[in-house]
Structure formats: structure tokens, C-alpha cells
Amino acid sequence: MRTLSEIVEMELTERDPVPMNWEEVEKVITSIKRISDLSGDGIHDKEMELLRGLAESLFELRLAKGLEDKRIEGFDERLSQILNGIKRAYVALISGDVPIKGGKVLCRCKSNLNLKGGKGVKTGDLVVMEFWQALTLMIAGYLSVVCRDGREIQ
């Protein structure tokens, strides 16, 4: 079993994201949990602080690789999909591919939704909403953002 430190080291040295499955992640979590159960003295508290720092570094490394369009595989594969969706929507917005007025964009619902104010929309309906709200719902898979040329970002 690789330790969190070893995984971070591999992530630093490898060009592509290091594959990690749920089984391995759960083993790492279990070993960290043993340390956290001992916390309360200064040594174990410092060790937990270090482990949290390593976990944050691992996230940042995988995030950076995901933003470079490197495929993340394993337990956090969905992270790569979410990052790429955010990136596509952001680039389309800033480059003018997405029509925007007053911070609002056109979206197509992918499933029935009840929006703020009790307004219900059905699958296929077009709605106009604030970009950041649309991005959140897009990430969750409830809608797509509609571009000027009719393409939809999902």
C-alpha cells in the first residue's frame, strides 16, 4: 500500500495523473484515521497537520493536471469531468460564444427542475439564469449552457 506521502511524491514526479482507485484511497484514509484517533498530544496534532497539507497538495496537483487536459483516472475521475466542463463554459463565455446579458445566459434543461421562486421547468425547456447558477446546475448535470451557434456545453 502506498502512503499519502508516496502518492504525492509520485504525483509530483509523474507527468500524468497517478491512477488511484477507491480501495487504495480507503486504505490511506484508514491509516490516517488511526493517527487522528491518537491526536490530542502535540506530536500527533503536528502529524495530522502535515497529512492535511499533503492531502491539499495532492488535490492541487491533480487539479493542475486536470486543467492541463490530462485524464484523471480512478476514484476522482469525476473531478476531471467537472473541471473540463467548467473550463469549457468559462472559455466559451469569455470568448463570446455564449450570449450574455446582465450576467445571465441561455440554458437548456436536461431534467425537470424547480427553480427559485417555485418556477418549474421541464426537460428541454430553455431558461435564462445567472451564469454562476447555470454553471453549478451544469456541473450537477441538470442543464447545459447554450452557445450562439446552438452548441450546448454540458
Cell of 9: 511524491
Percent of all residues in the chain with a pLDDT value above 70, rounded to a whole number: 98
Q: Cell triple for residue 76?
A: 476522482
Judged by average pLDDT, the poorest of 43-47, 51-55, 87-91 is 43-47
Confidence of residue 133 (pLDDT cuts 50, 70, 90): very high
Other beta carbons within 10 angstroms of residue 130's beta carbon come to: 12
pLDDT of 18 higher than 70: yes
Q: Is the pLDDT confidence value at 152 over 90?
A: yes
Q: Is the pLDDT of residue 39 over 70?
A: no
Specify the pLDDT at position 59. Answer: 92
What average pLDDT does the chain have? 89
Quote the CA–CA distance of 8 and 66 in Å, as a whole number.
Answer: 15
The band of 55, judged by pLDDT with boundaries at 50, 70 and 90, is very high
Write down the H helix ranges in 3-140. Answer: 4-13, 22-37, 42-67, 77-94, 131-139
Mean pLDDT of 41-59: 86
Residues 76-83, mean pLDDT to the nearest whole number: 86
pLDDT at 49: 87
- If pLDDT is split at 50, 70 and 90, which confidence band does 73 have? confident
Angle at 9 between CA 4 and CA 13, to 5 degrees: 150
Residue 61: C-alpha distances to residues 33, 70, 100, 117 (Å): 23, 11, 33, 40
